[in-house]
Amino acid sequence: MRHPTNFITKKIIYSDYHLWITLHFTMVFFKEMTYNTFRSKFLPKCLSGKKRFQKFLLALASLKKFSSY
């Protein structure tokens, strides 16, 4: 005996196969796009910000050392 839900989903998928594929690919595409934009735009900014902050702290420390003499 066939499982009813499985049969129904198969029927739906086969009837709207094109739609299903396009949906799936758009989902994957959007995931990739969002991840790539996040990686290319926001992560380097965060990293450069951290580096800048570290440089700033180093400069402050050196100024303090310089002023303490």
Delimit the domains of the chain by residue range.
Answer: 4-68
pLDDT digits (tens, 9 = 90+) for 3-22: 555 665 666 556 566 676 77
The dihedral formed by the CA atoms of 52, 55, 59 and 64, expressed in degrees to the nearest 10: 110
Give the DSSP per-residue string, 19-31: HHHHHHHHHHHHH
Q: What is the pTM of this model?
A: 0.30
pLDDT digits (tens, 9 = 90+) for 17-61: 667 677 777 777 777 777 777 667 666 666 666 777 777 777 777
